[in-house]
């Protein structure tokens, strides 16, 4: 699973590290009330929101900055449920 000494021979394999598993609160975006200002896209530190305002939950760590910056309160942070 791990190379000897944790050597990495495949460039870009950080994407295999699904940091979304760190999340405690999950952002849910309501496209109905969204005013398309794109603040969430600009402020997301992990570039997890695309132009269609879909959230990439593989890498979203649930920091909540998108919800804080949303002027139309279209993003709600809900607690993750345990598996």
Partner 1 sequence: MVKEVMTSNKAVAEAVRLAKPQVIPVYPITPQTTISEYLAQYVADEKIDAKYVKVESEHSAISAAVGASGAGVRVFTATSSQGLMLMHEILYAAAGMRTPFVLADANRAISAPLNIWNDQQDSIAQKDAGWLQIYVEDAQEALDTTLMAYKVSENPDILLPSMVCLDGFILTHTVEPVEIPDQESVDAFLPPYVPEHAYLDPKDPMSIGNFADPEYYMEARHDMDVAMNNALDVIQKTCDEFAEIFGRQYGLVEGYKTEDAEIIYVAMGSLCSSIRVIVDELRAKGEKVGLLKIRSYRPFPVDAINEVVKNCSKLAVVDKNFAIGMGGALFGDMKLKIDKEIYGFITGLGGRDITPEALNEIYEITKNGPENDVTWIGLKEE
* Residues that bind partner 1 in the complex, under the rule CB under 8 A: 1-9, 11, 17
Q: Which is nearer to partner 1, 4 or 52 (CB)?
A: 4
Rounded Cα–Cα distance for residues 57 and 42 (Å): 17
Minimum CB separation of residue 2 from partner 1 in Å reads 5
Q: Which is nearer to partner 1, 5 or 71 (CB)?
A: 5
Minimum CB separation of residue 5 from partner 1 in Å reads 3
Q: How many residues does the chain have?
A: 83
Q: Write the CB contacts of 35 (distance below 8 Å, at least 6 apart in sequence).
A: 71, 72, 74
Q: Which is nearer to partner 1, 3 or 52 (CB)?
A: 3
Locate 15 and state its tokens: 């994407």
């Amino acid at each position: 699973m791990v190379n000897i000494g944790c050597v990495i021979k495949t460039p870009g394999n950080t994407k295999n590290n699904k940091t979304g598993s760190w999340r405690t609160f999950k952002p849910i975006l309501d496209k109905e009330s969204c005013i398309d200002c794109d603040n969430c896209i600009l402020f997301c530190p992990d570039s997890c929101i695309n132009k269609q305002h879909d959230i990439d939950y593989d890498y979203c760590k649930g920091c909540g900055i998108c919800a804080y910056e949303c002027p139309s309160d279209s993003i709600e942070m809900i607690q993750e449920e345990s598996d």
